[in-house]
Amino acid sequence: MEEIRLIVDGKRLDGRGFEELRPIKIEAGVLKRADGSCYLEMGKNKVVAAVYGPREVHPKHLEDPSMAIVRYRYSMAPFSVEDRKRPGPDRRSIEISKVSREALEPVIMKELFPRSAIDIFVEVLQADAGSRTACLNAASVALVDAGIPMRGMVTSVAVAKVDGVLVLDPMKEEDYYGEADIPFAFLIRNGKIESITLLQMDGRVTAEELRRALELAKKGAMQIYQLQRDAIMRKYIREEEVVE
């Protein structure tokens, strides 16, 4: 196979520096029928999140008398990737749904809503690596938009190792041809990273590289966190203007 160089003259293929995020765009409250929603772009990823609840649990037997149940469904549109993706759940989307739900559950104050459900749907309209991280960022904003009481915000970003160096927020070529891909999610509370709620890895790095990857991901997450907050503030300002 022809060797693919991902770093040329100290720059990545899309011109970014190693520690640079892709351009991010976030808009809260884009869907009328959902209790909370968010549209988010992270580079070429385009995703929508919709949150419903707290609401009655169906089927009833899933109810928990002591707290709300949280459900998360990650799904990719058939037109979201180059080769058409077969519609419907597959192993990958089931796995992403599970780890993403687990990444969000610690921030949701489930104990306030016994016998109810909080349903989070994320739809990937266009994917370009890191779609799980884009969806988590959107879901977190949609949860706040829905008025669900939260302990903080979840912010997610990946770090990859490509051509021997660590890079923030890998795009598709870096994910495909790189040596490792490490998505993270953090619980950010009062403007500080409090814990890691998702950490996955494929590929191979040294323990020291993993430590550096964590630091790099934290830096990226703090930037994304500001954009998540800005999006929520913009939504509230819009609502106030409508009321007046």
Best CA proximity match to 140, nearest among 224, 84, 206, 243? 224
Helix 131-145 × helix 207-243 angle, to 10°? 40
Q: How many residues does the chain have?
A: 244
Nearer to ligand ADP, 53 or 130 (CB): 130
Minimum distance of ligand ADP from residue 49's CB (angstroms): 14
Q: Which of 132, 136, 141, 156 binds ligand ADP (CB under 6 A)?
A: 132
Tokens of 73: 């469904």
**Count of residues binding ligand ADP (CB under 6 A)?**
12
Region binding ligand ADP by CB under 6 A among candidate stretches 108-116, 121-129, 205-213, 219-227: 121-129
Nearer to ligand ADP, 16 or 172 (CB): 172
Q: Which of 40, 103, 104, 129 binds ligand ADP (CB under 6 A)?
A: 129
Kindly state whether residue 22 participates in binding ligand ADP, applying the rule CB under 6 A: no
Nearer to ligand ADP, 56 or 95 (CB): 95
Kindly state whether residue 174 participates in binding ligand ADP, applying the rule CB under 6 A: no
Q: Which of 43, 53, 54, 130 binds ligand ADP (CB under 6 A)?
A: 130
Binding mask 66-85 toward ligand ADP (x if CB under 6 A, else -) reads ---------------x-x-x
Amino acid making up residue 42: M
Q: What is the Cα–Cα distance from 171 to 42, expressed in whole angstroms? A: 9
Q: What is the Cα–Cα distance from 201 to 159, expressed in whole angstroms? A: 10
Q: Are 154 and 197 in contact (CB under 8 A)?
A: yes
Tokens of 45: 């990823």
Kindly state whether residue 101 participates in binding ligand ADP, applying the rule CB under 6 A: no
Q: From residue 153, how far is each of 91, 163, 181, 189, 238 by CA, in Å? A: 27, 33, 23, 7, 21
Amino acid making up residue 108: I
Minimum distance of ligand ADP from residue 218's CB (angstroms): 19
Best CA proximity match to 213, nearest among 184, 192, 174, 193? 184
Q: Which of 37, 97, 131, 140 binds ligand ADP (CB under 6 A)?
A: 131
Kindly state whether residue 98 participates in binding ligand ADP, applying the rule CB under 6 A: no
By CB under 6 A, name the binding residues for ligand ADP.
81, 83, 85, 92, 127-132, 172, 175
